[in-house]
Amino acid sequence: MPTAAANGAAIRIAAMARLPPDGLMRRVGWDVFARNPGDVFEERGALQWQLVKSLLPDGWGLEGKRVLDFGCGAGRVLAPAISEDPQAEFWGCDLHAPSVAWLREHLALGERAFQTAVWPPIAQPDASFELIYAFSVFTHLVDSWSAWLLELHRMLSDDGLLIVTVFGPGQSAFGEEPVAEASTGMNVLYPSASWDVGGPLVLHSEWWLRAHWGRAFEIVSLRPGDPGGAPPLFGQGVLVLRKRPGVYTSEELERPEPAEPREISALRQNVSSLRREIARHEIVLSSHSWRLTAPLRAAAQLARNWRAGRRS
């Protein structure tokens, strides 16, 4: 007859079999130094799936819906979603090939787990999904944010919902960086950071999200982040979006809001952040510094466009 110790060992082995390797779990976890990353992975994934469901409108059921986890990693949110709500059809996509491979084999997703490129498009038809959610994706997208937002718009059904986390609204500081509703806009920190350590960090102001994202989406709700970093968002804010009819371009989403003085304040803060980043790395003139300072040149062009728009 098995002993209690043997039963405990069997349970641990079963748990290990359903969890990704530590490296894949740490890649998508906030607490990368956790002694037991599996516990963090499972706990936070379950909390985040419950959050998604709590944000759905009354009467909005999952039965028969096609759901996409955009930037799914190794399935932190997908795993509890599939377990709790098998009546929906779940899909997941990510840049990271090893994570996608693990999902295909261990969550039996097959072709419903697929790898994306750095830029869209995705090989899915228009209006493919009734629900798309993205945790900690647009908190890192710098140049490609508008292209990806519009790709999700394309893949979303007319009555579908997009749930996205962002970082910034509700915050007052991030490290040495001030975060202020009047001045942040879309502010890029650590633009040269490797994706192995999380990549760049992008902060957003609520006014900027409503002005720019609101051109292609109706903002059903926007919850600012909790500066205390309470679960399940750990400091991030969350938006619930419904697509507006029509076809939009990146240029339309990115152009400065006419006669909005906070656009210039936001550009100034971006310039200050980028100059600190250059000084931090003691960049010399090289191809790397040219790439790193590209946002400075883009900010200058945006400022010129904004001023020209005010004069016209």
- 30-73: pLDDT as tens digits: 565 667 878 888 999 999 999 999 999 999 999 999 999 999 99
User: Looking at 234, 254, 274, which one is the last position of a domain?
Assistant: 254
Q: How far is CA 167 from CA 137, 163, 176, 250, in A?
A: 10, 14, 15, 21
Structural domain includes residue 4: no
- Residue 166, Cβ density class (10 Å: 0-12 exposed, 13-18 middle, ≥19 buried): buried
pTM: 0.84
User: Looking at 229, 254, 279, which one is the last position of a domain?
Assistant: 254
Domain that holds residue 306: 262-311
- 188-244: pLDDT as tens digits: 888 777 776 778 889 999 999 999 999 999 999 999 988 888 888 888 999 999 999
Instruction: Indicate whether 146 and 27 sit together in one domain.
Output: yes
- 265-307: pLDDT as tens digits: 888 888 887 777 777 665 444 444 445 555 555 655 665 565 5
Structural domain includes residue 9: no
DSSP character at residue 112: G
Q: Please give the single-letter amino acid code of residue 97.
A: A
Instruction: Indicate whether 183 and 90 sit together in one domain.
Output: yes
DSSP character at residue 295: H
Instruction: Indicate whether 165 and 278 sit together in one domain.
Output: no
Instruction: Indicate whether 184 and 298 sit together in one domain.
Output: no
